[in-house]
Structure 1
Amino acid sequence: MRAGLTPIVTAAGLDLAGLLGGAIITESIFSLPGLGSLAVNSVNDADLPVIVGITLVTATFIIVANLIVDLLYAVIDPRVRLV
């Protein structure tokens, strides 16, 4: 039963990155305040430090999500060892 959870954990990790991207697009379309509208406004105004900051926050979120997925692999499947 536990071996069947690994594809679910993989899909959940990929979905987290998709959720963030989808939120940015949704905020831009519906003019909601948030990271997406800030990103679009920064690109339109050529505000490079804000663009770099948003990219850094997004990349950090995705890296942490991948780290959590990798740690869950070791918990779910005893054959996987963290080296």
Structure 2
Amino acid sequence: MRISRPAVRILSVSLLLFCVAVVQGEPADNAAPEAKKDPQTVKQALAEFNSLIGGWRGVGMIKRNSRKGAWSENA
């Protein structure tokens, strides 16, 4: 299968832009400093979105179909 010249150029430019974006990205240590805030501050910041999201209920299981070590959460 032969690829046309414009397609090769588009792919080359796309690959170049992707590489530049990866190199220019922030290091992992500085990527999300706000993620290190305490949970209460995060809950207060997200409280304004509760009307959009609504309530939910979830159950966690360590092993599928086993109640051993399971927990439930409500919000």
Structure of higher RCO (CA pairs closer than 8 Å, 6+ residues apart):
1
Instruction: Give the TM-score, by structure 2 length.
Output: 0.33
Structure whose CA Rg is larger = 2
Q: When you count strand as a share of all residues, which structure comes out higher? A: 2
Instruction: Give the TM-score, by structure 1 length.
Output: 0.30
